[in-house]
Amino acid sequence: MIKYNRLNILFLLCFMGSTFVSEAQQKDGFKTIFNGKNMKNWEADTSHWRIENGCFVGEVTKEKPLKTNTFMIYRGTIPENFEFKASYRISPEGNSGVQYRSEALDNLPFALKGYQADIDGANRYTGQNYEERGRGFLAMRGEQSVLKEGQKPTITGSVGKSDELKAKIKVDDWNEIHIIAKGNHLMHYINGVLMSETTDEDLVKRKFTGLIGLQLHVMAKMKVEYKDIYLKEVKVN
């Protein structure tokens, strides 16, 4: 007869819970794109990014300063219409985000430009849509916006008050980010709550495909962790 102590039982419950979550994600069409062990299908500046306890960890310290924003870039596929999910934890002073439909810069290694679902430790910007090295702020948290060529974003509605949405985001703890990009319609969720929504009707600058990347922002000091990273490619009629 097998005897289980308390530690055995806790380990078994954690393993079963992780398995059930993984199976649920797979059944829903999501596929894991980070195995938690190595950088297969990913590339980054390893002086600032590492793998630790099954997570991608990006860190800036006094001993290892950062001169330009750098990214952990996914090279497994270049999705067009998709849903992306990941769990993240960021230090209170940190600044990060998930870029998508982005382009790599020829003159800077591990740098991207494109749409970004912003994340920061103080939750001042978390959930908004910002286009790095492009048009800038596309939709602040709580906003529904429409983008037109040569114009500032037009605010067409609201998905909630910014401060009330901010209250749904945990500080210095694990949160889930969920990005939905279908056609020219872009939605950012945190912990299952819609934070911003953008419709890009700019025929010149909008993008329908590109790279996915996890940002490490220039700061004096910060740390960000990502795990449980999933991608689901979808069809749009």
CA distance linking residue 161 with residue 218, whole number of Å: 29
Predicted model pTM: 0.89
The amino acid occupying position 154 is: T
pLDDT in tens, 57-84: 999 999 999 999 999 999 999 999 999 9
CATH superfamily of 33-233: Exo-inulinase; domain 1 (2.60.120.560)
Is pLDDT above 50 for 9?
no
Q: What are the boundaries of each domain within the chain?
A: 1-30, 33-233
- Mean pLDDT of the 194-203 span: 98
Question: What are residue 32's phi and psi, to 5 degrees?
Answer: -70, 135
Contact yes or no for 86/228 (Cβ under 8 A): yes
Confidence of residue 114 (pLDDT cuts 50, 70, 90): very high
Task: Indicate the pairing of strand 193-200 with strand 143-147.
Answer: parallel
DSSP 202-231: -TTT--S--EEEEEE---SSEEEEEEEEEE
pLDDT in tens, 130-188: 999 999 999 999 999 999 999 999 999 999 999 999 999 999 999 999 999 999 999 99
Is pLDDT above 50 for 11?
no
**Which residue from 187, 180, 196 is spatially nearest to 233, judged by alpha carbons?**
180
Contact yes or no for 84/212 (Cβ under 8 A): yes
Neighbours of 21 (CB within 10 A): 12
